[in-house]
Amino acid sequence: MKRILIKNGTVVNEGKIFQADLLINGEKIERIDSDISCDNAEIIDAFGLHILPGIIDDQVHFREPGLTHKGNIASESKAALAGGVTSFIDQPNTIPNAVTQEILEEKYKTAAQSAFVNYSFMMGGTNDNLEEVLKTNPRNVAGIKLFLGSSTGNMLVDNEQTLEKIFSSTDLLIATHCEDEGTIRRNLEKAKAQFGEDIPPYMHPVIRSEEACYISSSKAIELAKKTGAKLHVFHISTGKETNLFDNNIPLKDKKITAEVCMHHLFFSDKDYEEKGNFIKWNPAVKTAQDREQIWEALLDDRIDVIATDHAPHTFEEKSQKYLQAPSGGPMVQHSLPMMLTFVKQGKITLEKVVEKMAHNPAILFQIENRGFLREGYQADIVLVNLNQPQTVHKDNILYHCGWSPIEGEELSATVVSTFVNGNLAMNQGEITEEKFGQRLLFNR
């Protein structure tokens, strides 16, 4: 088997930063130690670089099948690879929606041929597919996704009896999009009364308000407590919601967990004036105060995971008027460099970034042999240069949609190399055409 020896790097893993070499044997990490020598290994000199476990993004929308004019598994996983993301969990609101086992498995078959990194897909719940949901295999499917607020794909689950049945019938992790539909509709009617059909984008967080988010997420948490379900609330966007979560329980024992996405850590409602619909997400980007409270919750461990909700749309689609422009934006290529820029600014430590983007998704979803740099684990590894700035512009964006909401931003760090299952899949911006991604397995 092929061996690769990474020499002279600085390892960031399990709360520690230390100098070490790392020996890869085939797909796995064979040894982590100081001053390893190996006669038959290819040597990679990582002097001046930090060695991290591959990033696991627990929420992406890679748009295949049915929406491939926006992106596809090959294009978006290639962008993920360039950004140091070695595993992704994709959501069910494609066309057709992944709400039967047959449709779900078709997505896995596509990924087996086209994914540049490791992959899993969530099974989608609806008002009337409980039987299909309960057939989901916990060993090789990440979990169940429920839209408790409408978003791209029309998969709203609003039947309370159905919700309770799903929550009480499965041991699988249930991930939720939480926004209260009634509140959103009332707010939208008020906005239409004020602006007609020409609603400005800055009204988005007024329409999809703090109240809409809090009502829905607090209901989901109440239901999880009542039924004992394992609940993961996606993309927390308000400070008020952060108080619903605990930080006094080890993650492996938590039944109720939370995720934050890059755009809610980066933007605020002041940015709608410049960015307009290009920062239109569901849930909406809220106030600077919300952003600061989310940061506090991230740092004190009420929020467990950082992800992207990577959801590309074409430039033309996003350029439409507010009511026609879809919600979502591309982010998976830049999430790690963005977080490393926050490290440089002193907002978060390097160890905490690795915890929230690699270790915790692996713990939360019980992903087998990934998310850590450990002997015997799969060699999903990222080398980063914390002192190599990059500017995001159209020429270096790999998203199929060809744009980014952070174009023009200078990020303070660069992903130099990405290993997927022991293979050097990206080096110095050059991506191999060979695809090394594997289906994620779960210790359940």
Buried/exposed 127-140: b ≥16 CB within 10 Å, e otherwise: eebeebbeebeeeb
Spell out the CATH class of 55-365: alpha beta
The CA distance from 58 to 122, in Å, is 10
Does the active-site annotation cover 90?
no
- For the chain, give every residue range classified as CATH 3.20.20.140: 55-365
* β-pairing verdict for 410-411 and 390-391: antiparallel
Which is the catalytic residue, given 33, 309, 380, 395?
A: 309
User: Is the torsion defined by CA of 114, 125, 229, 299 positive or negative?
Assistant: positive
The CA distance from 390 to 369, in Å, is 32
- The predicted pLDDT at position 158 comes to 82
- The predicted pLDDT at position 360 comes to 98
Spell out the CATH class of 3-51+376-390+410-431: mainly beta
What pTM, to 2 d.p., does this model score? Answer: 0.97
- The predicted pLDDT at position 154 comes to 61
State the alpha helices, DSSP H only, in 271-419: 272-275, 288-299, 315-318, 335-344, 350-354, 360-365
- The predicted pLDDT at position 306 comes to 98
Helices (H) and strands (E) in the chain, counts: 15, 20
- The predicted pLDDT at position 156 comes to 82
- The predicted pLDDT at position 159 comes to 83
- The predicted pLDDT at position 151 comes to 59
pLDDT tens-digit map of 55-83: 999 999 999 999 999 999 999 999 999 99
Written as tens digits, the pLDDT of the chain (444 aa) is 799 999 999 999 999 999 999 999 999 999 999 999 999 999 999 999 999 999 999 999 999 999 999 999 999 999 999 999 999 999 999 999 999 999 999 999 999 999 999 999 999 999 999 999 999 999 999 999 998 866 555 688 888 888 999 999 999 999 999 999 999 999 999 999 999 999 999 999 999 999 999 999 999 999 999 999 999 999 999 999 999 999 999 999 999 999 999 999 999 999 999 999 999 999 999 999 999 999 999 999 999 999 999 999 999 999 999 999 999 999 999 999 999 999 999 999 999 999 999 999 999 999 999 999 999 999 999 999 999 999 999 999 999 999 999 999 999 999 999 999 999 999 999 999 999 999 999 999
The CA distance from 419 to 117, in Å, is 9
Within 10 A of 18 (CB to CB), how many other CB atoms are there? 10
- The predicted pLDDT at position 32 comes to 98
> What is the DSSP secondary-structure string of 35-58?
S---TTSEEEE-TT-EEEEPEEEE
3-state helix, strand, coil in the chain (%, to 5): 35, 25, 45
* β-pairing verdict for 118-121 and 123-124: unpaired
Instruction: Tell me the three state secondary structure of residue 70.
Output: coil
- The predicted pLDDT at position 3 comes to 96
- For the chain, give every residue range classified as CATH 2.30.40.10: 3-51+376-390+410-431
